[in-house]
Structure 1
Amino acid sequence: MKKKQTAVLASTIAASMLLGACGGEKQSKTTETKKGTDKQVLNLVETSEIPSMDTALATDAVSFNVMNNTMEGLYTLGKNDKEVPGVAESYEKKDDGKKYVFKLRKDAKWSNGDPVTAKDFVFAWKRALDPATKAEYAYIMFDIKNAEKVNKGELPADQLGVKAVDDYTLEVELETAIPYFVSLTAFPTFYPQNEKYVKEQGTKFGLEANTTLYNGPFVLSDWKHEQSFQMKKNPTYWDNKTVKLEEINFNIVKDTATEVNLYETNAVDRARLSAEFVDKYKSNPEFKTTQDPTLFFMRLNQKNKALANKDIRKAISMAYDKEGIANVLLNNGSIGAYGLVPKDFVSGPDKKDFRETSGKFAKTNVKEAQKLWENGKKEVGVDTVQLELLNFDNENAKKIGEYLKEQLEKNLPGLTITIKQQPFAQKLKLESDGQYDLSFAGWGPDYPDPMTFMDMFVTNGSHNQMGYSNAEYDALIEKAKTDMSDLKARWDNLVKAEKILFEDAAIAPVYQRGKAFVQKEYVKNVIDHKFGGEFSFKWAYIEK
C-alpha cells in the first residue's frame, strides 16, 4: 500500500490532547462490554489521519484499511486471505482466463439505499483510469484490456475492457490471463462508486464522513480530522446479520507510551508495542507478535546530483546496520531487509520463497561502502555531500531517522544529513512531488504476487518518484506482466529484475516489519491481512 505507506508510520496529536479525546466515555464503554452487557464496541488506535476516502485517489494503508471495512468490491478477503464473495455472488472465467463474468447480488445496497449495480463498477474503474483524475494507483488496473491506453489518453474510456451487461452482470476483459485477478477485485481501487452521488459531492467527495457513500459492513459515522474517527454497523449492508460489532472507535495516537497507558486503563482494546515495552509484556497472555510482508526502505532521489552517482547510492545502502535497527531499535519481530520482495510472502513454481531464490542484497559492509563512497565523491567532483532525509513524524520513524543519520555520517566521511519530519499526508505529497533527497518509505503488498513490489520502479511509474530508469528492468517487468505462458520463466525474470534494481542501488532496504502488540482477550476474530487492507472487522466480536 501504500504509496502504500504502512500505518505504523504516520502523524498524530499530542499526548495531552489525546488523553482529553480518549477519556471517560470510551473507557466506560470498554468496561461495560467486559462486564457482559450487550455492547459490541471495539476501541482502537490509529497512527494517522485518513488522507482520503475516495477509492480512486487513496494511496496509503490508513485509507485502505478504513475502506476495507466501510466499502466492498466484487470479492473481499476472509481468513488466510482467501477470496470470499462480496458484491459479486460468483464469477465465471472464460477465454483461458482472459475474460471474467461476475454475477452481482441483488441485495447489495449503498448506505443511501441505492442498489449497487454493475454500472457502479464501470463508472468507478473508468474514473480511476481517466487521466484527469490523476490517480496514482491507476496502473494497478492495467491488466484490464486497454486500461493503460485509456489512462494515457490514447483511447476513449468506452474502449476499456469492462461493461455492464445488465444491472447485475459485469464483464471484464483482460490483456492477459493473470492468476491473481480475483484477489485484485478486493483492492480498494477496484471498488464501485455511485456516479450520481460522486458528481453531486464534486470536490468534497471522500473528504468528510458525510460526503462519502458506503456499501460495506460499516459506515464512517464520525470523522474529527487529526483527532479521531468512528465506524458504525451499516444497516443497509447485504450481510449485516454477520456483523456483530455495533461501533469501532479510532483515536489518532503517535506516542507508544500514551497508547500503552490507554490500553492499561481499558480505554483501548489493542495497543502496538515499541522496543521498550516488548520485554515488559512478552510473558503476558495478551501479548502477540506477527511478521508481515511490509518493507521499509530509503528512496534515493536521482534528481540530486550526488545521488545520481551509482557508487554513492551503493555506499549509502551498505553503510548502516540493518540488524541493529530490527533487533534493537524495533525489537518487535522485524527483520533486516536485503531485497525488495519480502521474506515469506510468495513462493515460485518450485515452491521456494522468492527471497530464498533471489538472495540478499545491500548487506552491511562499511569498508566496501567507504571505498565506493570515496570513488563516488571523486566522480561527482565533491569532497562533502549534504542530503536531506524526508521522514514521518511519529516515534518509530524518528528513532530510525536519527539512527540512519548517525550511522551514515559516521561511516561515510564528508556526509551531512538533515532530517525533515513531516505529518503523514504532507510527507506523502512531498514524496509524490519528488521534493526530497532521501526518503524513509514503506510499502505493503496490494495482491499476492512479487509484481506488487516490482512494478513500482519502472521508468516514470507513478510510484517511482525518484528518477530511476533502467530499460532492461522495464523490459523484464513488462514481460512478466504480459506473458503468463511460462510461469517459471516469468518467475526467473522477476528475480533477475530485482537483481538489476540492487545492482543499480535504486533503493536502500532497511527492514521488514514485524508487529508486537497487546490485545484484550475478549476481542475475537479480527482478521489480519498480508495484502490490501490491514484488518477486516466484519467477523470480529466482543466475547461476553
Structure 2
Amino acid sequence: MKLRKFCSMLIVSGLVASSLAGCGGSGSKTAGGDAAGTQKTSENGKKGPNGETLASEQIAHGMQFNVVTFDTAQVGDAESGSFFLATCEGLFRENNGNLENAGCEKYEISDDGLTYTFHLRKNKWSDGKEVVASQYKDAVERVLNVNLACPYSFFAFPIKNAENYYNGKCGFDEVGVEAVDDYTLKFTLETPEPYFVDKLAYTMFNPIRVDNIEKYGDTYGTDAMQTLSCGPYMVQEYTANQSTVFVKNPEYWDAENVLLDEIDLQQVDETATQFQLFEAGQLDFVAASGDYLKQWDQAASEGKCQLYTDGDVRSQYFAFNTQESCPSGIMQNAKIRKAIAYTFDSQTFIDSVYNSRYTAAYGLVTPNIKVGDKEYRTEVAEPIKEEYKEYANNPEKLQALFHEGLKELGKDTNDLSTITIQYLGYGETTIEKDIEQYTVQRIQDNLGIKVDLNVVGDFGLATAAQRAGEFDICMQVWGADYNDPMTFIDVFRTGGSSNYGKYSSEKYDQILDQLATEQDNDKRLKLYGEAETMLIKDDAAIKPLLYRDKHSYINNRLHGFQYPVFGGKYEFKYAYIVEE
C-alpha cells in the first residue's frame, strides 16, 4: 500500500508519466485471498458472467469510504453503508435495483401482514462460526438500546412492542422478534407495513456478534479491523483517512460467485487528482464533476471508459436549527427561516457549484420514489415552487419578511448588519468551498445580515457538530433507504435522530402516526403531501436545493460494479476485472 500512496503523491505533483509504471500493476502486493487460505479467482479458471475473459489479477481500485462508524447499529450514512455492503450479509441484498434474498433463502408473510418468517441459508463469519437467527435478534435488541442513541432505531418501531421497549415500558422478551431455531427468524408487527421487507435490507438489521462487541467494549465501532465479516469481503488493512484493503471472504456462502480477490481504496480529496488517477488506471470509477463532465462524456462516447447515468434518490437541502438555543438566537422563528431560505435560488446554486449538473428542487421527496404504483413527485406538486417566485431576487421583500420575524421575537432592528448567523461547513475541496462562498454571499447580499462561516475538517466532525446543534444553517444530503416517501418524511419527526435542526410539530407527528396505519395509497399520497408542505412551506424547517443524479465513469476493465439505489453508494459483490 505504501507504493500506491507514493504514486498518488507523484501524480499530484504532475509527474504522471514517470509514476505509472510502478503503480497497481503486476508488482502490486499479493491479493489477500492467499493469506486467507483461498485461491485467486483467476487460478480457478473462471469466466465472467457474460463469458468474458477474466484478467489474471482481480483487484479493483476505488476511493476510501468516508466511514463514520464501524458499528452496524450506528450507521446512518451511505459511505458507512458501503463498508457493510462489502463485509456483511443481511437478509436481503440489492442487485441491479432489485431486492434479492441474501441471508435468507425464502420467507413467508402471514395473510394479515403482521408475521414475517425467514428461513436462513447456511452462512459463516470470517472466523468460521455459523451465522444464526439469534444474531439477527441480537441486532434488533442492540439498535433498540436507548443508551446507544442509534440513528435508525425508529426503523424497528413497527415491530411489536419495539417502541415500548425503547422507551423502557417493557422487556425485550415482549418485542416481536424471535429466533425460532438457528435458521428460522420471525418478526411480528404492530400493524401491517408495506415496505417492511425493504427496511430489512438496511444495515441496522444485519446480524451481529455480541461476543465480538464485548471483546472491544467502548472502543467497538471505531476501527475497521474490529469487524468480523459474514459478507463477500473482509478487511485486511485499514488506515483512517488514508486507505483500506478488502479481500475475498472464503467463508461467505456465495464465495464461488465473488470474482474480485481484492479491493484497494485510497483517500483522494481533490477532484483534479481523482480524474488524473482515473485516467492513469489507478482508480476504476469516479463521479462526474464540474468542468470534467464534457471532457469525460466525450471520452465515454469514444469508448475510452464506461458512462454510468441514472436517476437517484438523494435530496440535498439546507437545514435550519429551529431551537432558541441556536448560535444566533433567532432561528426558532419560521418567517426568519423562510426569508433566509428564499435567498437561495436552486437553479443558480446548481449552475454556480455543480456546473448545471443536477435538477433544481422545491420539495424534499425525490423523483423515482413511489406510493404503490404511482410516482410521488408526479402526483404531488413541490410545495414551494410557486411561492418562491414571489421572493426570488427581491431583497426588499425578503428583508421585510425577515423584519416580521424579528418583530415576533421582539428583536427587530433598523440595522440588519448587526445580526450574525452561523453557517456550518466542512472540508476544503473546491466544491465545498464553492458551496460555502455561495451560501454566505447570497444571504448577505439579499438580507444585509452577516454570516459567520464555521468550517470543520471532515464529514465526521460536521455530523458531530450538527448533532450538537452548533449551527444556524448547514448543508445536508438525505438518501432514501427504501421506496416510499416515508423514508424522507419521518426524518423530521420530533426527536428523530437525524433531525439535526430539532424541528418539532405536533401536527406533523400526528400525520406520521396516521400514515403508520393507513393502507389506502391515495390517502397516503395526500397525507405525505400535507406533511411535506408543512415542513418546507409553512414551517420552513429546511430549504430544498436539488435532486441528485448518478453520473459516473467506470474503467473499461471493471464490469459488474454497481451503484445501489438504496443504502450504500457502492456494491462490489458482483464486480470483476476483464482482460483488456
Q: TM-score, normalised by structure 2?
A: 0.86
Which residue number corresponds to residue 341 of structure 1? 365
1:373 to 381, 399, 402: 402
Superposition RMSD in Å: 2.6
Letter in 2 for 1:300: F
Which residue number corresponds to residue 189 of structure 1? 204
Structure 1 CA distance for aligned equivalents of residues 233 and 513 of structure 2: 38
- The reply to whether residue 541 of structure 1 matches residue 576 of structure 2 is yes
Which residue number corresponds to residue 63 of structure 1? 80
Which residue number corresponds to residue 351 of structure 2? 327
Is the CA contact (8 Å cut-off) linking 1:198 and 1:205 kept in structure 2? yes
Identity, in percent, stands at 30
Structure 2 CA distance for aligned equivalents of residues 528 and 288 of structure 1: 9
Structure 2 CA distance for aligned equivalents of residues 95 and 347 of structure 1: 24
Which residue number corresponds to residue 289 of structure 2? 274
1:97-246 superposed matches below 5 A: 97-105=113-121, 107-246=122-261
Is the CA contact (8 Å cut-off) linking 2:246 and 2:262 kept in structure 1? yes
Give the direction of change, closer, same or farther, for the CA distance of 1:18–1:412 in structure 2 (3 Å limit): farther
Is the CA contact (8 Å cut-off) linking 2:383 and 2:532 kept in structure 1? no
Structure 1 CA distance for aligned equivalents of residues 246 and 549 of structure 2: 27
Give the direction of change, closer, same or farther, for the CA distance of 1:94–1:121 in structure 2 (3 Å limit): same
Structure 1 CA distance for aligned equivalents of residues 235 and 339 of structure 2: 46
Structure 1 CA distance for aligned equivalents of residues 508 and 276 of structure 2: 48
Is the CA contact (8 Å cut-off) linking 1:41 and 1:247 kept in structure 2? yes
Letter in 1 for 2:79: V
Q: Summarize deviations over 1:363-392 as a string: whole Å, max 9, x none.
A: 352324333123223433243321111112
1:26-37 superposed matches below 5 A: 26-28=23-25, 37=55
Q: Summarize deviations over 1:452-480 as a string: whole Å, max 9, x none.
A: 11011111221212231111111001111
Q: Summarize deviations over 1:284-341 as a string: whole Å, max 9, x none.
A: 1224433311111111102232211111111111112211222342136311121111
Structure 1 CA distance for aligned equivalents of residues 468 and 560 of structure 2: 40
Which residue number corresponds to residue 511 of structure 2? 476
Is the CA contact (8 Å cut-off) linking 2:124 and 2:251 kept in structure 1? yes
1:43-54 superposed matches below 5 A: 43-46=61-64, 49-54=66-71
Letter in 1 for 2:295: K
Is the CA contact (8 Å cut-off) linking 2:54 and 2:577 kept in structure 1? no
Structure 2 CA distance for aligned equivalents of residues 418 and 25 of structure 1: 42
Which has the greater radius of gyration? 2
- The reply to whether residue 509 of structure 1 matches residue 536 of structure 2 is no
Q: Summarize deviations over 1:197-225 as a string: whole Å, max 9, x none.
A: 22222223333233111100111221111
Task: State which drifts further: 65-74 or 457-466.
Answer: 457-466
Give the direction of change, closer, same or farther, for the CA distance of 1:75–1:198 in structure 2 (3 Å limit): same
Structure 1 CA distance for aligned equivalents of residues 27 and 346 of structure 2: 39
Which residue number corresponds to residue 40 of structure 1? 58
How many pairs does the alignment contain? 527
Q: Summarize deviations over 1:482-506 as a string: whole Å, max 9, x none.
A: x133222122111111111121101
Which residue number corresponds to residue 10 of structure 1? none
Is the CA contact (8 Å cut-off) linking 2:125 and 2:229 kept in structure 1? yes
Is the CA contact (8 Å cut-off) linking 2:149 and 2:497 kept in structure 1? no
Task: State which drifts further: 192-201 or 64-73.
Answer: 192-201
Structure 1 CA distance for aligned equivalents of residues 311 and 520 of structure 2: 31
Which residue number corresponds to residue 33 of structure 2? none
Letter in 2 for 1:79: N
Structure 2 CA distance for aligned equivalents of residues 95 and 275 of structure 1: 51
Q: CA deviation at 1:277?
A: 1.2
Structure 2 CA distance for aligned equivalents of residues 201 and 404 of structure 1: 42
Structure 2 CA distance for aligned equivalents of residues 36 and 301 of structure 1: 52
Give the direction of change, closer, same or farther, for the CA distance of 1:23–1:474 in structure 2 (3 Å limit): farther
Which residue number corresponds to residue 449 of structure 1? 484
Give the direction of change, closer, same or farther, for the CA distance of 1:465–1:18 in structure 2 (3 Å limit): farther
1:395 to 430, 434, 446: 430
Letter in 1 for 2:333: N
Task: State which drifts further: 390-399 or 213-222.
Answer: 390-399
Structure 2 CA distance for aligned equivalents of residues 397 and 477 of structure 1: 34
Is the CA contact (8 Å cut-off) linking 1:253 and 1:259 kept in structure 2? yes
1:354 to 366, 372, 377: 377
Structure 2 CA distance for aligned equivalents of residues 101 and 350 of structure 1: 26
Q: CA deviation at 1:360?
A: 4.1
Which residue number corresponds to residue 262 of structure 1? 277
- The reply to whether residue 493 of structure 1 matches residue 510 of structure 2 is no
Give the secondary structure class of the aligned counterpart of 1:275.
coil
Give the secondary structure class of the aligned counterpart of 1:248.
strand
Q: Summarize deviations over 1:101-157 as a string: whole Å, max 9, x none.
A: 00011x200111000000100111101101122212111111111111111122111
Letter in 2 for 1:543: V
Name structure 1 gaps, 5 residues minimum. Answer: 1-12
1:522 to 549, 554, 557: 557
Give the secondary structure class of the aligned counterpart of 2:317.
strand
Give the secondary structure class of the aligned counterpart of 1:241.
helix
Is the CA contact (8 Å cut-off) linking 1:30 and 1:43 kept in structure 2? no
Is the CA contact (8 Å cut-off) linking 2:177 and 2:186 kept in structure 1? yes
Give the secondary structure class of the aligned counterpart of 1:283.
helix
Letter in 2 for 1:289: T
Q: TM-score, normalised by structure 1?
A: 0.91
Name structure 2 gaps, 5 residues minimum. Answer: 1-5, 14-18, 30-41, 43-51
Letter in 2 for 1:322: S
Q: CA deviation at 1:409?
A: 0.9
Q: Summarize deviations over 1:34-92 as a string: whole Å, max 9, x none.
A: 9974111110113x532211101122211111101210111111112x11111110001
